[in-house]
Each structure stands twice: as structure tokens, then as C-alpha cells.
Structure 1
Amino acid sequence: MKRNPFLLVGVMLLVGTLLFAGGAKETEATSSSDIKIGMILGVGGLGDLSYNDLVYDGLERAQNELGIDFDYVEPQSIADFETFLQQMSSTKMYDVIISVGYDQVEPLKKVAPQFPNQKFAIIDENVDLPNVASFVSKEEEGSFLVGALAGLVKKTDSVKQNNTLGFISALDIPLLDRFYAGYEAGARYVNSDIKVVANYVGGNAPFSDITTAKEIALKQFSQGADIIYHAAGGSGLGLFQAAKEKDFYAIGVNSNQNVIDPDHIMASMLKRVDNAAFVIAQSLVNGDLKTGGLSVLGLASDGIGYTVAESNVPIDEDIIAVVEDIKDAIIAGELVVPNAHKDVEAFLASNSY
């Protein structure tokens, strides 16, 4: 793995200079050691203790277990995506180029048709092109589980007796609306008295604005929300700071963020984009990576989950047992979680705990 070989290249491309180009990559790799993957991370890059770190971990695992190699870049702005896609594609070095995140959809739609023999993959969105493999997740399912957990804790916690929960999202977009829908539906499914307040980070850095996320968390806490869930990438670190300062509970997202502050982070919703990255690499090794299609990862495929591991927040075992029963019902198809907030009321009207 090589870190960021294209940052300088990207700058030079802007002034018309191509620093290097690789030879044509064979269509079929003869062994896993011949396989090379390029990855364009989301804005915010590594160190977010969340989404980008997870995808990186998935390819690092593939490197260790399968013997593949990979390069990656850390864009500083959305404007960098197209530049990096063009540069990586032009080298003809990569068996697949992975785009990470919803905001790479339009750049990928523009660049991929220019390189019809190059395979691409996108994690977290669906791009309907013949040379793109798309991977999306059922975020609503994992969010439903942590929502149910929070709703049940509200019923039993001797200190946090009010019925308000908080939700912080980076942006008001369909992808993140799935988190919101699942969380509120899960909480109200087990506790009909629950109210959820929601706010959005927004701005120029919605996934890395710790200050704004902290301000939102403090505002929600002042409104009575003493369990707050985030879907805001690196911005979520601001929630954790507020939880520690005011001594309330937080719920992490994507990776096991409980380890960041075990005394205040009660659980994390696991979005296993690391598994998606590993599956892409494994498919290349096996020679069966299929482009032009969509793979959906949920609870049933271990693409989504939740964990209370490494948290010191006391949660009754009976509560965990109920959440596990709900998880089994979702996997069995007995409980279909809404994937849009507008559908939460209809779900609750037709499903009772």
C-alpha cells in the first residue's frame, strides 16, 4: 500500500502536466500478488475513526490476507474527485478503482464512460454503468437496533427518565435519512412515548465539522435529549466531546466507536464498509467481480450490525436480549424497517412491539 501518490499529481494535472503513466494492466490478474486497487477516500480522509478508516481497514485486511496491493488518495474537497478518477484511470495500473461515498457519484458518472475497459466500484451508492460495481447498505436496519436499544434504556434507566432522544446528521440527504428513519422507528417501536429531535451539521465540511456537531449536541441536550445518535462521520467526535462534558450518552456509527469514550458511548451502529472493500478485493482474486450491478449489504449478510462491546455504560441483559430478538425478526423478514423518515408513521401504525 502506498499513501497518496496522486496528491502532487493532481495538482500538476491542473496545470497540464502528467507526472507519470503506467503500462496497460492485464485484464485478468494471474495471481493475487498481481492485483492492484486504487481507492479514492471521502473528504475528511483517514483519522475520522469512522467511515474512511473502515474502508481503509478492509483493503488493509485484503492486503494481509489475500496479498493484493493498493494505493489511496485523500481528497481535500469535492472538486478533487474527478481529478483523481481521471488520473488513476489514465495510469491503467489498477484492476479496480474504488470511489467512497455518495458525493463521488457525479464524478464517477462522468469519468467511467471515458474508460470503458477500466473497472470501477463505488461504496455507498448505486451508479448504473456497465463498468461500475455498486455496493449499498441497509443503514436503516442497524439504526433500528440502536434506536430500539435507546428506547428500551429510556424505559429502565433510573436517571434518564425523560423521553427525548437526539439525532445528528451531516446532511439532509436520502442516504443519511435512512439512519434517521431506522433510529426513530426503532426507538418508538419499543417505546411509544419517545420523541426524537434531529439537526444537521451542513456547511462546507459536514463530515468533519467537530465544532458544529458539538454545538448541536449541546443544544439537543438542553432540549432534554440525553441519548444522542450521530450519522456525521468525523463530525461525530463533537458529539462525544459534548457527551463527556455534560455526562449524557452517545451512540456511535460505522465502526465500534465505544472505545473512544467507554463511559459515555453506550453502543455503536456498525456499517461494515470494511467488508464491502474486502469483498471487492476478494472478488478480484477469485476472478468474479461483476460490474454493472448492485450489491445490498444488511443484517443478513453481516454488512450491518451494532455492538455494545467495550462500553462501560450499564445496559440490562434483558434489553440486549430484546434487541437480539428484533434483529432476528429483521433477518427473517418478519419486520421490514422503513428506509425513509416519511414512512416511519406508517410503519408504526402497522407494527406493534
Structure 2
Amino acid sequence: MRKIGMLMLVGIMIVMGMWMSVAQAAPVKVAMVVAGTLGDRSFYDSGNEGLMQAAKELGVETKVFECRSVPSAFSEQIIAAAQSYEVVFTIGWELVDPLLEVAPEFPDVKFIHIDAAIEGVANVSSLDYLENEGSFVAGAMAAMMTTKTEDTKINNQKIIGAVGGMDIPVIRNFVAGYEAGAKYIDPDIKVEVGYVGNFEDPAKGKEMALTIFNKGADIIFQIAGNTGNGVIEAAKESGFYAIGVDSDQGYIAPGFIMGSMMKRVGLSIFETIQKILDGSYKDGTVMSYGIAQNGVGMSKDEDMKKIVGDEVMKKLEEIERGIVEGTIPVPARS
């Protein structure tokens, strides 16, 4: 009997050991909730790239929850994600209030919000981007390039423009940097800015871009998510330059995208997941990504280098160094 009992005990221990091994091997489950939809070729897609990279390289299990810009879905999708996933990223200014309402109901879930600094909630951290720094460089580039009238897309007026999706703090931060960077190069340059009121309407983006183009702007910075695809379409049809945003958008309209001010959402998501896995992640913190952290900056791809030339590229690199070193101050939104 004693022998049988020992064998049973050994069997139980083996089964428990196998169960624990399986439990330990279970991948961390990471969700991303976006206020709109994937396919914007910009902000949301950049985040998804980071999520897919983490799934491939870090072995996490992932899923994207899309709210499709429907307000009633904001809280619903955050709750749905939190019910099944250990880590939940939320992307979009629209999700701040719903997140703050939902997070206390799931104290064991790590929530990380993208694009706003949230403090004071134990299980909510945030990734905050210094888009004003990257946009300062974009503005400086536009100011230098708008005088190069040998380029057939450039007119003889010192006017550049920007199209914002909505007049909200994060977009105003882009605009503040863009205007400051332009005036750092030329205090007399004129910057025409228009806000569409929507991040999901390319037709209105195109209309706004054409309005600004007709005021004399030959370079227009799109800061409008999916709406910005309309700005790029207008650039192709009317023969001016667009500056892309969030992702490297040069492939969308080669020869018409001067460069892209990249907000590396994917990189920051990937790095945050790495920290969670290696134990260095801290709950309830704000993690900032500027030029120094490679979180924002110009695309610097071959198309951009070809369009702007070596002299402008060197000047942009000089400006970036000045921003990192603190010798070139960059204003934030007022």
C-alpha cells in the first residue's frame, strides 16, 4: 500500500509539474484598443506594427479592438479587452475618459494609454510623445524648401501649410512645433493652418488642403490620420508637396511626399511590452518619447534625401542635435 501511495504521489507531482510548465509557457496576452479603425496608413497602423512585431519577436498573444469612431463602443471595447487580456493599450484621445472609468474595475490589468499623459491611476501608464520636437524639424525643412523655386512644385511665395484633423491639444502641439521650426529658419514665413474636425474623412482633408494650396502654400503638413490621405491625394492632383505623419508615408505618393514626421508609436509599444516581460515596467508612470528617445523624427528615407538634398539634410541633423542638447528650445502648444 505504501508503495502504491508513493507511486500516486509521484504521479501527482509529475502532473502538477507539467501543468506548471504549461502555465509558465502561456504567452502574455496583449490587446490594443483603437478609437477608429486600422488602415489609416498612419497613427493606428503604426501602433499595430509594434503589436505585430511583439507577437513575432516576443511571443505575446495579441488582438486589436476597433471602436470605429463610435462613442458608445469606447467603453465597451476597453471592457472587452480587459476581460481577456493582461495588458491593454488604448490609442486615441477619445479613449481617455472611458479608460479612466473602466480601469478601476480591472485592477490587475496593465493599461497603457497612447498619446496623452495620464497620472494618478495605479494601473494606468501612458506613452507621451514630444511631437512638437519632430514637427519643429518638419517646419524647418518646409521653410528651407519653399524657397527652392527651381523645383517645379515650389512657387515664389514663402507660404507653407498644415491640415489638422481636429483642434485638440495633441494636434496643436504638432502645429506649435511646425510653426516654430519654420520661423526658426525664416521669421517672415507664413504658415496657413486649417482644422477639418475629423480624423476619418479624406474628402474633407482634400478640400482643406486645396483651400490652403490656393492661398499659396506649396508644402502642406498633414496631421490628420485617415483624413490626411485626402491631403496626399490633393498633393498628387495639384502638384504640391505633402509632409506625411506618424508613419513613413512616402510610398503612398512617391515624389509628392517631401518626408514624414514619424511618431514611432509601434516602437514605443514594442519597447513597453519588452519592459513588461523583463520586469522593468513600472505601473502608473508617464513614458516620454522625443527625438532623443527616437520616438519622433523625420523619415530620412531615400525619397526624402533625393527631394531635399544634402545641404538641407545636414541642416536638419544640426537642428536635431540642438534640440537634444537643449540649445534650440522648442515650444509646446499654448
TM-score, with length taken from structure 2: 0.88
Specify the SS of the correspondent of 1:155.
Answer: coil
- Provide the residue aligned with 1:172 in structure 2: 167
Pair 1:251 & 2:243 matched: yes
Specify the SS of the correspondent of 1:300.
Answer: coil
Give the Cα–Cα distance (whole angstroms) in 1 for the partners of residues 221 and 173 of structure 2.
13
User: Given that residues 81 and 88 in structure 2 are in contact (C-alpha distance below 8 angstroms), is that contact kept between their aligned partners in structure 1?
Assistant: yes
Count of residues paired in the alignment: 307
Specify the SS of the correspondent of 1:311.
Answer: helix
- Provide the residue aligned with 2:186 in structure 1: 191
Pair 1:125 & 2:120 matched: no
Counterparts of 1:81-160 in structure 2, within 5 Å, are: 81-89=74-82, 91=83, 93-128=84-119, 129-158=121-150, 159-160=154-155
The aligned amino acid for 1:81 is F
The aligned amino acid for 1:133 is S
Q: Which has the larger radius of gyration?
A: 2
User: Given that residues 228 and 251 in structure 1 are in contact (C-alpha distance below 8 angstroms), is that contact kept between their aligned partners in structure 2?
Assistant: yes
- Provide the residue aligned with 2:55 in structure 1: 63
The aligned amino acid for 2:45 is D
Pair 1:320 & 2:307 matched: no
Give the Cα–Cα distance (whole angstroms) in 2 for the partners of residues 114 and 316 of structure 1.
54
Give the Cα–Cα distance (whole angstroms) in 1 for the partners of residues 308 and 289 of structure 2.
28
Give the Cα–Cα distance (whole angstroms) in 2 for the partners of residues 310 and 245 of structure 1.
23
Specify the SS of the correspondent of 1:178.
Answer: helix
Name the one with the larger helix percent. Answer: 2
Specify the SS of the correspondent of 1:289.
Answer: coil
TM-aligned CA deviation for residue 298 of structure 1 = 0.3
TM-score, with length taken from structure 1: 0.84
- Provide the residue aligned with 2:217 in structure 1: 225
TM-aligned CA deviation for residue 314 of structure 1 = 2.4
- Residues 230-239 or 123-132, more deviating: 123-132
Specify the SS of the correspondent of 2:211.
Answer: helix
- Provide the residue aligned with 1:14 in structure 2: none
Task: Quote the RMSD (CA, aligned, Å).
Answer: 1.6
TM-aligned CA deviation for residue 39 of structure 1 = 1.1
Pair 1:35 & 2:32 matched: no
Give the Cα–Cα distance (whole angstroms) in 2 for the partners of residues 117 and 272 of structure 1.
28
Give the Cα–Cα distance (whole angstroms) in 2 for the partners of residues 306 and 244 of structure 1.
21
- Provide the residue aligned with 2:255 in structure 1: 263
User: Given that residues 65 and 81 in structure 2 are in contact (C-alpha distance below 8 angstroms), is that contact kept between their aligned partners in structure 1?
Assistant: no
User: Given that residues 146 and 218 in structure 2 are in contact (C-alpha distance below 8 angstroms), is that contact kept between their aligned partners in structure 1?
Assistant: no
Give the Cα–Cα distance (whole angstroms) in 2 for the partners of residues 112 and 307 of structure 1.
35
Give the Cα–Cα distance (whole angstroms) in 1 for the partners of residues 239 and 176 of structure 2.
26
Give the Cα–Cα distance (whole angstroms) in 1 for the partners of residues 294 and 216 of structure 2.
34
- Provide the residue aligned with 1:15 in structure 2: none
User: Given that residues 266 and 311 in structure 1 are in contact (C-alpha distance below 8 angstroms), is that contact kept between their aligned partners in structure 2?
Assistant: yes
Q: Which blocks of at least 5 consecutive residues in structure 2 are unaligned?
A: 1-19
The aligned amino acid for 1:177 is R
Give the Cα–Cα distance (whole angstroms) in 2 for the partners of residues 100 and 336 of structure 1.
28
Give the Cα–Cα distance (whole angstroms) in 1 for the partners of residues 223 and 181 of structure 2.
16
User: Given that residues 163 and 196 in structure 2 are in contact (C-alpha distance below 8 angstroms), is that contact kept between their aligned partners in structure 1?
Assistant: yes
Give the Cα–Cα distance (whole angstroms) in 2 for the partners of residues 88 and 239 of structure 1.
33
Give the Cα–Cα distance (whole angstroms) in 1 for the partners of residues 98 and 35 of structure 2.
13
